[in-house]
Chains A and B, each alone.
Chain A
């Protein structure tokens, strides 16, 4: 479509997905920005991945008996959906970060993966419904001990985190959002919300999925007072009250902004630290209430906003390890059909500091600059450099061929600009670009340019392109989204 801003589309796909290949960007450019946003918001209109083929070869996945298999499956699915349903996977990753639940305690891989599926299915839906699903999710119930929450023996863990970490947050604008009495009332309302088949060993015949079970005789039927309302509340009544709170609108808006737009301060600081862009947060809060708590509507507003599209928000967020790994895999076009080896690649997330399905605590991972330390940075750079310069990968091959076919002559600047575009319209800082020019020039045998028709020159050019992509992969801009 004439006038389509492809670099803007690349920005959108980096945030709403895991980046896009140059072929995908070509296709997206045909329909225009707003249509692409709508496409992303409706993953159900895209075909699912071929589950039968996955099961056919990864025969253990259906049962998923260990954490290695679960990690492998998570990364494989993210990679498989990165091109087909990118926002579905990205929102699942988002909720995994917000509603952080981990195998360190849950110890039932399939149940954890079922929670991620819940996020796929409901992550773009209504926030009230999502919280109800979450409250009934067996992994969450076990993670926060609600299976030990009885009318005569209260366990406040779930009730407290529901308010503190999953909906309202401790406070906003310098004041507290709820009281200790509210925590207790919330916990009482969720008594009897428990699970079936918890903690049963895989022996003798393998694991079976944990299921939600409501035990009426364990539920506290007494009167409760929550956030100024009084009644014989059950769990859903509590959620109905929660979603009406301005604090919930603020909390969800900040989370969405932090994940999709720009890094915010870490969550524990939110009570006393105002949002970086209060105006943007207000826009999202208004849409939250206007739409009746609809996450998809909030994201539509977000992706179409000036604050999202602005130059300032591009390459301004540190990629999470999952974004680095899956985004790179997607560019490579690797693992589009089941084969061995995905586990070794998936481990990259863990080595970079994001052990998927196993966050460090119920707070999730600290994001932004906290993703980077000297060790994780080396892992990031090495991972990308190793993968992106492997000419055997179909995606790398197609990028190299596309560049070789573009022009009869390749000089350092055309190679660099070409690689930056093919890798997702990456915009380098002048200083980084100048450094690359010097490196590539020295590779080109000091001739300054080569004729693409000569086989020898073509081989040399190919090496120069691969080396350039490898260097781009280690730049700050590639490691940022």
Chain B
């Protein structure tokens, strides 16, 4: 007899929990404070680990299949070229180079297809091409690199070699102004969405950086945010926003209308299962912790969201050291 597992649905039923990949680990299969998740040119998941400042060996990029099989990891903590300390996000260019934002070293570091260091650019400052704690990264279809320059409260547009092209944004809460922005994503039309972190809203700009619209306000109701960070747009134009301090991911239509909400439904991951099989005493203790069962399934500071071409939604569940995966059920 087989048991059919019915995975739970999202708030409005438009998404279904699919799987989880993760395990707290400083090396090998596992993550340590995952802050950014993307699909690489190889079709696999690439996950940036922020880790713990007192455990620098855990700062790394982990690569695994979307079924949760570990492939490899690379990266080295430090300030030398090719090293990084406070990673905030990663993104691939159309040439297959991996770009990494490091908000401690105030620079973008580029790795080639073989994961070797290629170049870096930036440096601390507020002049064009300089950064003050860069975070979100995204590429336009023409290959321009968009960098969220958090403490300069602006978005910079650069070539993939770091040459300055344009910028927009200044500190404030008016239209087009920003307060410690974090995430960035582009839709198929080339419009740009920026999570305006301390203004608790998402702003949309056209390709020239001109303000188009904004949605969201402070709070924990539908359509409200408590420090939004990761953002992604799926091929149908739906907007996914990590509502960080509300511990949820909200989904909006292209006009900013609320559509659905993910809160996390994690079960046990493949890597976690392997660990618990080898440590049954820990599994017994986990089972006894009756008051904490529900919260262990939920997101705990979701920080990055990525939607692939098959409608799978990958959420970096930062403090739980895992990627929770949902499947979009119906296109609208």
Contacts and interface: CB of A to CB of B under 8 A. Distances in A.
Interface of A: 52-53, 55-60, 62-63, 65-66, 68-69, 72, 196-206, 208-209, 211, 213, 340, 343
Given A56-B197, A66-B54, A340-B86, 14 more contacts: A52-B227, A58-B53, A59-B35, A62-B319, A63-B319, A196-B289, A198-B285, A204-B268, A204-B271, A204-B272, A205-B24, A205-B322, A211-B291, A343-B53
Contacts of B188: none
Interface of B: 22-25, 33, 35, 50-55, 85-86, 103-104, 180, 197-198, 227, 245, 266, 268-269, 271-272, 275-276, 279, 282, 285-286, 288-292, 295-296, 300-301, 318-322
A196 B292 contact: yes
Contacts of A57: 86, 103
A203 B23 contact: yes
Contact of A203 (B198, B282, B295): B282
Nearest to B104: A340
Contacts of B288: 197
Contacts of A53: 180
Contacts of B290: 196
Contacts of B291: 196-197, 211, 213
A31 B210 CA distance: 49
B320 A205 contact: yes
25 contacts: A52-B245, A55-B245, A56-B180, A57-B86, A59-B35, A60-B50, A60-B52, A66-B52, A66-B54, A68-B54, A69-B53, A197-B285, A197-B291, A199-B285, A200-B289, A202-B24, A203-B23, A203-B279, A204-B23, A204-B271, A204-B272, A204-B275, A205-B272, A205-B296, A206-B319
Shortest Cβ-Cβ A-B pairs, 5 listed: A204-B272, A197-B289, A68-B54, A208-B292, A196-B291
A345 to B, nearest CB: 13
Nearest to A196: B291
Contacts of B51: 60
A334 B12 CA distance: 48
Contacts of A63: 300, 319
A211 B322 CA distance: 24
A73 B53 CA distance: 12
B213 to A, nearest CB: 24
Nearest to B150: A56
B24 to A, nearest CB: 5
Nearest to B266: A205
Given A60-B52, A65-B52, A205 B22 contact: yes
A197 B292 CA distance: 7
Given A200-B282, A204-B24, A211 B292 contact: yes
Nearest to B295: A208
Which residue, A65, A204, A206, A209, has most C-beta atoms of chain B within 10 A? Answer: A204
Contacts of A197: 285, 288-289, 291-292
A397 to B, nearest CB: 19
Contacts of A343: 53-54
Given A66-B54, A208-B292, A200 B285 contact: yes
B25 A203 contact: yes
Nearest to A71: B54
